[in-house]
Amino acid sequence: MDPELVKRHGNTHYANVAYGYYVLFVTVFYLLFLWVLRMILKPRAAGINSSRKRKLAQQLYLVKPAIHLPILLMAVLLPFYRHYSLSEHPTVYMKRLGRLSYVLLTLNLILNLRPSWILRHTYTYTDLIPLHKWLSRCIVLIAVVHGILFLAYWALGTSNLLGTKLRNPYNLIGFLLFFPLFLLIVCSVAPMRRYSYNAFYLIHNMATFSFIFLTAFHARPGISFPYLVLNTGLLIWHGFAKFHYARHTDVLQKNTDYHNTNLVNIQLPRMVLPDQFEPACHIRVSPYTRLHPLYWLFPSHPFTVASLPSDTAVDLIVAESRHPKSFKFEMGAPYTVINKYDPAIPRLCLESAKRVAIVCGGSGVSFGLPLYRYFKEIRPVEYVQFIWLVKDVYQLKMIDELASINSFDGSKDCHAFITRIAENDNTALEAEQDLEFELESMTQGMGEDGALVNSSDDQPVSNFKFASINFGRRIDWATDLSQFVEPASIDNTWLLTCGPSSLIESGRQYAADNGIYFASEVYAL
């Protein structure tokens, strides 16, 4: 070894190289672990009264960050403190934090792939979003702590050591990198993110690019191979997917009733989706063309498809927010539809379910309706029930405008629940929107238990043939699904829910109490 190199760095210069490879090995092993989980665990619900073992299995299956993140961090931190004394070689461990954050970025980029081509047959991209968000926060925090520790160490050292170190271009790059990461932490706080998600997304992308490429110049020993190569390759794949799987389109029709509700129906040309797609799949929509710079700098918006492959148009049912910065479809404006993403429904359900109940709230009907039609038209099952909860009766009329629903009869197994009897106050449903997704929460209104009212009564209800319309009350799971669960068929019985977290958790508890399969999509991510 070069004597000058030994003199400058001592015998600890390469102390963290092996640790970096270890973290990369953990990344590969963890991806294998995720694949195995979906092979051996079943999507049965675990409720309040479930055993600890069953709750743990369910949280592992759902990739809950509260369980998966500690497992991952324990694995990468297990050999973190080894061989070198902290008091004698503190910089070894400060550098190790920096290398840890960069290697973990590879896993985070994989988790955010859309679609996740490594886990595409076992996970949808929405399954991995919560873990991606929390792992991102950990990576940024580790990197920032790495920088703060070095600044403090140099500031407390000999006179003018901090100035001398920062005049080194390698250290200066690391110091400059500190600012976009710190800004990302500030902008990722929920109030800031809600105020302007576009700003957060732009800063997020700038920080990611800076972290990937500037760290490659900053880190010593170098990290070009394999980490920079891997991260650059993943970025290229992200860009390729966003460019290649995109279709230019416009809006065929926009049906609204702004006077009474914020639910709107959007119809897009059938060509924006391939010949075949699964019910309740997602698309992402950008208001910019692929050649527009903002197409790459600003986020696209995900929507659930309310249609089936046999339909002549692609229907979306969206709860438009009153937030001035929220995304809204406009007639005559060009849009880009980005890819098709599988729904949050296991393939096991679509292929083998025999008894199915679908409960959705508000704009969650875009999730529930295609699944209901799938189990009625494409793969008929022995029992299916569809329940839609809305706040105002006017919202029921929105499905009248769907391109494929005019001749469909739900008079045997479709039920609507109006949680608040409409008044002549011309007040639309208020909805708080997380600008990260269109999957907004439905604000549930309060109401006294009301009588069963059929669509033949003098009410401004939908032309769609419901079996019943219940005014002034919410679903009573035990009563309204009293014919659903049969002990002899629980291995083929599925409860599918979509809506705000409160609705999802109520459904999960009901499924756990009855030992049936459960799948859901939360419209409040």
DSSP-assigned letters across all residues of 92-115 = HHHHHHHHHHHHHHHHHHHHT-SS
Distance CA 250, CA 252 (A): 6
Would the CA dihedral through 253, 259, 260, 263 be positive or negative? positive
pLDDT, position 114: 82
Long-range own/partner contacts, residues 65-71 (CB < 8 A, 24 or more apart): 65/130, 65/131, 65/133, 65/134, 65/135, 68/131, 69/131, 69/134, 69/135, 69/138
pLDDT, position 138: 97
pLDDT, position 447: 31
- Close Cβ partners of 171 (under 8 Å, ≥ 6 residues apart): 150, 165, 218
* Contact between 448 and 418 (Cβ < 8 Å): no
* Contact between 212 and 205 (Cβ < 8 Å): no
Distance CA 255, CA 249 (A): 18
DSSP 305: B
pLDDT, position 510: 96
Cα end-to-end distance, the chain, whole Å: 53
pLDDT, position 83: 85
Cα Rg for the chain, rounded, in angstroms? 26
SS3 415: strand
pLDDT, position 48: 84
Question: How many residues are there in the chain?
Answer: 525
Q: What is the pLDDT along the chain (525 residues), one digit of tens a residue?
A: 344 334 444 578 889 999 999 999 999 999 999 999 999 998 988 888 889 999 999 999 999 999 999 999 999 999 999 889 999 999 999 999 999 999 999 999 999 988 777 787 788 888 999 999 999 999 999 999 999 999 999 999 888 899 999 999 999 999 999 999 999 999 988 888 888 889 999 999 999 999 999 999 999 899 999 999 999 999 999 999 999 999 999 999 999 888 888 899 999 999 999 999 999 999 999 999 999 999 999 999 999 999 999 999 999 999 888 777 788 999 999 999 998 898 989 999 999 999 999 999 999 999 999 999 999 999 999 999 999 999 888 888 888 878 666 667 777 899 999 987 544 444 333 333 333 333 332 222 323 333 344 444 455 567 778 889 998 888 999 999 999 999 999 999 999 999 988 999 999 999 999 999 999 988 753
Distances in Å between the alpha carbon of 98 and those of 16, 78, 201?
10, 16, 23
pLDDT, position 122: 85
Distance CA 499, CA 260 (A): 20
What are the strands, taking DSSP E only, across 277-404? 282-286, 301-304, 313-319, 334-341, 355-361, 383-390
CB atoms within 10 A of CB 134: 16
pLDDT, position 257: 85
The DSSP code sequence of 426-482 is -PPPP----TT-S-PPPPPPP-----EE-TTSSS---SSEEEEEEES----HHHHTT
* Contact between 373 and 464 (Cβ < 8 Å): no
Distance CA 316, CA 281 (A): 11
pLDDT, position 463: 74
The distance of Cα 501 from the centroid of its chain, to the nearest Å, equals 14
